Amino acid sequence: MPRSAPAAAFLGALLLGAGVPRAGPPDVVTSGKRALKRRTLSVTDANFNEVQVIHVAGGVPTTVSFRQPIRPESVILADTANVFLPVKASEASIVLIPKRDLGRRSTTTLTVTLADGTIVPLVLATLPREADIGVDVDVALVERAPAESASALKAAAAELRADLDECRADQGAAGVAKVAGLVLQQDVSQPQVFERHEVGRRDKQERLLVEVRQVYRVFGHSYLLVTLENRDPSRTWVLDHPELSATGGGQSVDVQVVSFQMDPVSLAPNEMAKLVVAFRTPPQGSTNSFRLQLLEKNGSRHVRLDGLSL
């Protein structure tokens, strides 16, 4: 035999073997030579009504992976023709192993439920020249996402953040508008008081440095400005509400606090905050002094300042 004969015989064997299916596991039939692919399927609001298709082939394991956790017990394979081996499912992936190709007219579906409750239907089909060995499924729903899903929560948080930014942007204008409204409510025939004076009262209680700085009087109301410094190195202090009372003529009378605002609301260790307490200005000369109490929320570190001259 010429030297080229063994090489030719070997080449002929390779060519003949190219079209012969390789042996697979028991009860598994392979068919033909296919290109094995790895693909990504994206499920969005735009294509939510379109059913995604996964290409399977006999003897070719297909791993379907999910970027979001799934409920393994909820996986439903509608295999009426008994084509597939038992499905293997975890919280992140599903392994499908068909024993033979699916028929052209057969319809096999795979239904998966994500951990957030989103139901993802998939169709399984066989193509003659290719099969999926791996499919990454990315579910990115916003409008159709369940309320508890991560995307829905992110969308809600973004909407709230936008509303908050808008409120902050309008805060200065809203304050000016409220002042303008107060001016409109005044009786122009009556005298008005516009006054600001220093109080300068400082005290340290419950590891809080409290200073009553100034009082403003305008349009029948007084606005008391207080600063607080938390000198407790380990505990945050939060104001529940302030209380104000007036003493005069041997009597003590509660003064209704119309409004109060503190910035920041929560006073962290070694931080400072400003507090404004608004109340109706008592009749002139009817009181001698005031008592201010700042009550801690869910705590007992209260502050009491007596004998304030406002």
Over 50: is that where the pLDDT of 189 sits? yes
pLDDT in tens, 157-180: 666 677 666 666 666 677 677 777
pLDDT at 5 over 50: no
Is the pLDDT score of 69 beyond 80? yes
Residue with the two structure tokens 């509660």: 254
Other beta carbons less than 10 A from residue 107's beta carbon:
12
pLDDT at 9: 45
Query: Which residues, in sequence order, are bridge partners of residue 93?
Result: 65
Instruction: Say which amino acid occupies 47.
Output: N
Q: What percent of the chain has pLDDT over 90?
A: 52
Q: Domains plus CATH for the chain?
A: 24-140 (2.60.40), 194-308 (2.60.40.4170)
Tell me the pLDDT band of 50, cut-offs 50, 70 and 90.
confident
187: pLDDT strictly greater than 90: no
Q: How far apart are CA 19 and CA 240, in angstroms?
A: 81
* Res 104: pLDDT: 83
Q: Which amino acid is at 238?
A: V
Average pLDDT, integer, range 143-159 = 58
What average pLDDT does the structure give for the chain? 82
pLDDT at 89 over 60: yes
Find the mean pLDDT for residues 185-205. 84
Mean pLDDT of 276-296: 85
% the chain with pLDDT above 70: 78
Q: CA-CA distance, 257 to 246, in Å (whole number)?
A: 12
pLDDT of residue 167: 64
pLDDT (average), residues 210-224: 92
Is 251 exposed, middle or buried (CB count within 10 Å of its CB: 0-12, 13-18, 19+)? exposed
- pLDDT tens digit sequence for 252-278: 889 999 999 999 999 999 999 999 999
- Distance (Å, whole) CA 108 – CA 188: 83
